[in-house]
């Protein structure tokens, strides 16, 4: 079983923010494949179903971003899944809006949600899809920036990225990391 984990923050005030792009992709995958994230335990909302012909657990941790690792570790332990089954979906300041990059693992890149996951899973080898949200404008700090919604001028690029990311995850599930990296890491 694959464990697709969208990182984000719970609460209506964060729903449309840049930091919740991982959740946006999880929601798009759920919509496309008729999954309901109706199970609520293990500090997460999750649902199980078939995506791109694969048995998948789609997870949205309900911890705040900086404690995402606790929820992810609980889900993996409960379902007895290996770390290699995980694909993290999350926002990345170091990529322009709309740019996506698959990675097999590596450092957290300064992302505190990813840092939490890596610490709780005791490895940096966690597959991931980084979703570009761009850098903050001059004078705005990164924390404030990630907690703001996309502007009207960015809305189309955001929506297109979410749709492309869902397609990228489907390719990843059908053909593996190498094919996904070749197709989407431009």
Question: For this structure, is 120 an active site residue?
Answer: no
Q: Which of 26, 2, 7 is nearest to 18 (CA)?
A: 7
b/e per residue 99-138 (b: at least 16 CB within 10 A): bbbbbeeeebeebbbbbbbbebbeeeebbbbbbbbbebee
Q: Which of 72, 70, 89, 83 is nearest to 29 (CA)?
A: 89
Burial of 48 (0-12, 13-18, 19+ CB in 10 A): middle
19, 24, 111, 158: which one is catalytic? Answer: 19
Distance CA 116, CA 113 (A): 5
Residue 73 has a CB neighbour count (10 Å cut-off) of: 19
Question: Could you give the residue numbers annotated as active site?
Answer: 19
């Amino acid at each position: 079983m694959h464990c697709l984990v969208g990182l984000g923050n719970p609460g209506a005030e964060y729903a449309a923010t840049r930091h919740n792009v991982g959740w946006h992709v999880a929601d798009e995958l759920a919509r496309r494949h008729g999954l309901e994230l109706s199970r609520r335990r293990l500090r997460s909302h999750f649902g199980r179903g078939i995506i791109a012909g694969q048995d998948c657990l789609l997870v949205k941790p309900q911890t705040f971003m900086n404690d995402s690792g606790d929820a992810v570790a609980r889900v993996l332990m409960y379902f007895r899944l290996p770390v290699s089954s995980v694909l993290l979906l999350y926002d990345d300041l170091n990529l322009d809006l709309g740019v996506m990059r698959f990675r097999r693992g590596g450092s957290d890149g300064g992302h505190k949600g990813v840092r939490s996951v890596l610490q709780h899973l005791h490895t940096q080898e966690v597959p991931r899809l980084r979703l570009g949200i761009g850098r903050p404008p001059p004078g705005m700090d990164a924390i404030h920036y990630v907690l703001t919604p996309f502007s009207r001028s960015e809305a189309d690029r955001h929506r297109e990225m979410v749709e492309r990311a869902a397609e990228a995850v489907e390719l990843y599930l059908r053909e593996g990391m190498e094919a996904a990296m070749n197709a989407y890491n431009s």
